[in-house]
Amino acid sequence: MWPRIRRFGVELYAFFTTPYVIKNCMGMGGMLLTLFLLTFWWLKCYTKHGDSVQVPSYVGMSFREAARKARARDFGVAVSDSLYVPGKPPGEIIAQDPKPESRVKEGRTLYFTVTKNNPDIIKLPNLGDGDDYDLYSRKLSRLGLKPRIVARMPNPKLGSNVVIDVIYHGDTITRQIRSGLPVPVEMGSTIDFVVSEEVTMTVTIPECVGQTLDAARFLIQTNELSVGSILSDGTTTKDDKDAYVYRQTPKYDPNGTMRKGEQIDLYITKEMPGNR
């Protein structure tokens, strides 16, 4: 058996060492190597592996302008969502994906969120008897509505800040809301309220100037008043708790009084105010 195996090995070695076989094997190896390199090069060119470009910011532009500029840089464009934003013209870009200054491959599609012309129609939530204005107004704010107190009526039975009437575009809709009937309103609309107040209804005006926004809010609320408009001078955001109050309306008066629940408007800035 061993002589037969040895003879087979010798014949196999003789076959693979012949010039013809060696030449063919080298040719096939060269073809496979060339095919592999060509395939790798094609995949790299097709996928642009390792190549990326920076995405500019298109927020604030009209969709037409942004699409023109994006396509000029070989980006694709598409609208992923549209929202109604009060005060903004339709077709303005308010968000984009990928985000500005991120790096993506050439030819990537950019998805834009744009403003639309008509507001969404939403249904007002149900208003139960004796519903508290503060709780209900927060519900409306989360829906994109603007609650506003237009009148206060003394009512010792109800206490303070209890909703008496709800008004939309001049029409009283309290009965419909209390009964659970659908009341469609436009997103961004102002909803007016008549609320109750205690018979003892005056408090002193707190001094908010020089306080941080967070501290001023706490001071106003502990004095049973409401925070009105928060107006920035442009150096900070309206939600910056560390911003400083440099003016208030009405002004601080040690002898002055306000009705409980009335609003104090705050003007805020980034730096602690000096003499203004």
Q: CB neighbours of 186 closer than 8 A, spacing ≥ 6?
A: 119, 120, 121, 122
pLDDT in tens, the chain (276 residues): 666 666 656 565 555 567 765 666 676 777 777 776 677 666 565 555 556 788 889 998 999 999 999 898 889 999 988 888 877 888 899 999 988 888 888 888 999 999 888 888 889 988 865 588 998 999 899 888 999 999 988 877 777 888 999 999 989 999 888 888 888 998 888 999 999 877 666 888 999 999 999 999 999 998 889 999 999 888 888 778 889 999 999 999 888 888 888 899 999 999 888 644
What Å distances lie between residue 265 and 218, 227, 230, CA to CA?
14, 6, 6
Give the pLDDT score at 269: 92
Length of the chain: 276
Nearest to 149 by CA among 163, 130, 131: 163
Q: CB neighbours of 175 closer than 8 A, spacing ≥ 6?
A: none
Give the pLDDT score at 3: 67
Q: Are strands 163-168 and 171-172 parallel, antiparallel or unpaired?
A: antiparallel
Which runs of consecutive H residues, i.e. helices, occur in the chain?
A: 2-16, 19-47, 63-72, 133-142, 174-178, 213-222
Q: Is the pTM of this model over 0.95?
A: no
List domains and CATH numbers for the chain.
53-115 (3.30.10.20), 121-197 (3.30.10.20), 202-269 (3.30.10.20)
